[in-house]
Amino acid sequence: MTNEEIQQPSIFELIGGSVKLREMVDRFYDLMDLEPAFAGIRALHPTTLDGSRDKLYWFLSGWSGGPSLYIEQFGHPRLRARHLPYAIASSERDQWLRCMAWAMQEVGVEEALQLRLMQSFMILRIGCGIGRNEASMGVMGRMDYGYGRLYEAVVYTPHLVKQMLRNEPELLKCTNYSGETVMHWFVVENDLEAVELLHQCGGDVSDYALAEACSLGHVDMVYLLFQIGVVPNITSCRVNIELGKLPRKVFVKLRQAFNRFGYDLNATT
């Protein structure tokens, strides 16, 4: 068998060629133009989006392994230099990624390919000099590569997370620079939907994550962690609540949550 016979299809071919890629790009700009959630990135574009549609399509054509339409017309894209004149903040980066994820889903790009493309787009947008939000920066500074992949998937393409973890369940064990798993991070961030999603995929939460949720006064998160079976370290929870210096009404709600699940915050261990 020759190399040509075993050559893997390009992303361009997997998407569906020029027609499907153009459909995806057009839907991306349609959503940007119509949805208030993408007002930040819309404001960075000209009044008319026709030129932007063409340029992104031309660029993605060559980038994905199809005809190098952009280079043929303009030369090397030099993405970082082209973005330097613009004040592109983390919110615009996030909007771009969410808009693209929405567009791919609407035009029917296959789920595994959506995930692959989103991971590539995340790298591409960072390479252009487009920042990430402060929370992400704190998490991503020094971490397992797998941690970053799972974190980004939960944030930007949650509909693909279950498939991702069926293929790579070990990602649930990857940690950031503080030794926290992705699920632990979302407990601290009080993101109930993310924690529920990761729990459905087999993720575990440590008793220390529960203690941190207590210190931050995340009452709803504490209820959720009890519901999914996290067993508290009472001493650790009590100490963290004291360090958190929470308002009395929040402390009362936390104590009620512990009592409801049969735990006494005044008990000694």
CB 196 within 8 A of CB 224: yes
Q: Residue range 89-104: average pLDDT?
A: 83
In a domain, 187, yes or no: no
In a domain, 230, yes or no: yes
Position 100, amino acid: M
Confidence of residue 229 (pLDDT cuts 50, 70, 90): very high
Q: Are residues 128 and 212 in the same domain?
A: no
Confidence of residue 6 (pLDDT cuts 50, 70, 90): low
For residue 74, the domain's CATH number is 1.10.490.10
In a domain, 166, yes or no: no
Q: What local confidence, expressed as pLDDT, does residue 124 receive?
A: 59
In a domain, 212, yes or no: yes
Non-local (6+) Cβ contacts of 252 within 8 A are none
Q: What local confidence, expressed as pLDDT, does residue 88 receive?
A: 43
CB 123 within 8 A of CB 93: no
Q: What local confidence, expressed as pLDDT, does residue 73 receive?
A: 73
Q: Residue range 140-167: average pLDDT?
A: 79
Q: Are residues 228 and 122 in the same domain?
A: no
Q: Which of 106, 132, 158 is the last residue of a domain?
A: 132
Residue 225 has pLDDT above 90, yes or no: yes
Range of the domain at 247: 205-269
In a domain, 244, yes or no: yes
Non-local (6+) Cβ contacts of 220 within 8 A are 190, 192
Q: Which of 132, 158, 188 is the last residue of a domain?
A: 132
Mean pLDDT lowest among 142-146, 172-176, 217-221: 142-146
Q: Which of 86, 106, 132 is the last residue of a domain?
A: 132
Domain count, the chain: 2
Residue 77 has pLDDT above 50, yes or no: no
